Amino acid sequence: MFAPLPQFRSVVPYTPNQSYQKPQGALSLYAPVVGLQPGQAYQLRLAPAPGVPLALGVPGWLDIRLTDWRGVPPGQLQILHEKPAHVFIVNQDLSEFQHVHPDVLQPGLLRVPVQFNSPGQHKLFLQFKTPEHGEQTLSQAFQLGTATSNVPVQPMKPLIPDAYWPKQVGAYTFQVTGLPTRQNPMSMFQVAVTQNGRPVSQIQPYLGAGAHGVMISQDGQAFVHTHPTSAAVNGFYQSPLMFHARIDRPGLYKMWVQTRIDDQIHTVDWVFQV
């Protein structure tokens, strides 16, 4: 469970006017300012994009502002896996996952497409790279509420380890083995991708890698983003995909693996215990 946020405040994410009709299911967003964390060069602040209110089940936009301790934004973001930044968003019970990419509107101002299907606590992880400080991962907890100041209580879906079992996504079967454990926190785990029992040999590059794997702990405090170590052959990756990961904090984790096959992104997830 995520750490509790301070008392929720309803924050109206837009300026009402006579011609504007508030949409059904409109959301307010509360994101307490965290400040610089140890070892981090930048801090982030979240807000809905001006004039574009967030609503349940409807595509919307979040603005992310990046500044250093002086309030100065980074002058340049270097391309990281084909994008200027990567954003990962999960809800409190990790039942919802978004991997999206922002547009850079101006130095330090990123606008990212989002869609929320439930209110309550969420957490955002931002990865980017600057010439001065290299690769950075920042996180921000935030809370979504309806038009009232009270956040409806959502039933929490329990996390149950299921990494023992294959998962079917479309025409493909995914099987993971060798995930980190408490006894072996550093591992080379692999994801086998098969179709009709045969290994898939034409996995397309996705954002500069053979796949993307994201691991987040149940409490939202641990985050790992990893990619296959194998190289492409004739422009394609082959099953099984081998990843490297190290997790030193015990607990329950959920992992999402995203691959690109037949020009489609396939997302599969597993829960595992460390």
Contact 31, 47 (CB under 8 A): yes
Residues 202 and 237 grouped into a single domain: yes
The answer as to whether 159 is a domain residue is no
Which three-class secondary structure state does DSSP give residue 61? strand
Range of the domain at 182: 167-273
Final residue in a domain of this structure, among 145, 176, 202: 145
Highest mean pLDDT among 12-26, 144-158, 172-186: 172-186
Same domain, 141 and 243: no
Query: Does residue 53 contact residue 26 with C-beta atoms inside 8 Å?
Result: yes
Q: Is the pLDDT of residue 4 over 70?
A: no
- The pLDDT of residue 11: 35
Instruction: Indicate whether 34 belongs to any domain.
Output: yes
Q: What is the CATH number of the domain that holds 260?
A: 2.60.40.1930
Distance CA 26, CA 31 (A): 17
Q: Do 129 and 43 fall within a single domain? A: yes
Residue range 16-43: average pLDDT?
Answer: 71
For 68-109, the pLDDT digits (tens) are 999 999 989 999 999 999 999 999 999 999 999 999 999 999
Asked whether the beta carbons of 271 and 162 are under 8 A apart, the reply is: yes
DSSP string, 79-90: -BTTBSEEEEEE
pLDDT the model gives residue 36: 84
Q: Could you tell me if 245 and 201 lie in one domain?
A: yes
Instruction: Write out pLDDT tens, residues 223-274.
Output: 999 999 989 999 999 999 999 999 999 999 999 999 999 999 999 999 999 9
**Mean pLDDT score of the chain:** 89
pLDDT tens per residue across span 99-137: 999 999 999 999 999 999 989 999 999 999 999 999 999
Confidence class for position 21, pLDDT limits 50, 70, 90:
very low
Judgement on whether residues 30 and 141 belong to the same structural domain of the protein:
yes
Res 126: pLDDT: 97
Residues 172 and 213 grouped into a single domain: yes
In our burial notation (b when 16+ CB lie closer than 10 A, e otherwise), range 93-119 reads bbeebbbbebebeeebebebebebebb
Q: What is the rounded distance in angstroms from the CA atom of residue 170 to the CA atom of residue 166?
A: 13
* Mean pLDDT within 18-47: 77
What six digits make up the tokens of 48?
Answer: 């809905």
Residue 1 lies in a domain: no
Residues 136 and 191 grouped into a single domain: no
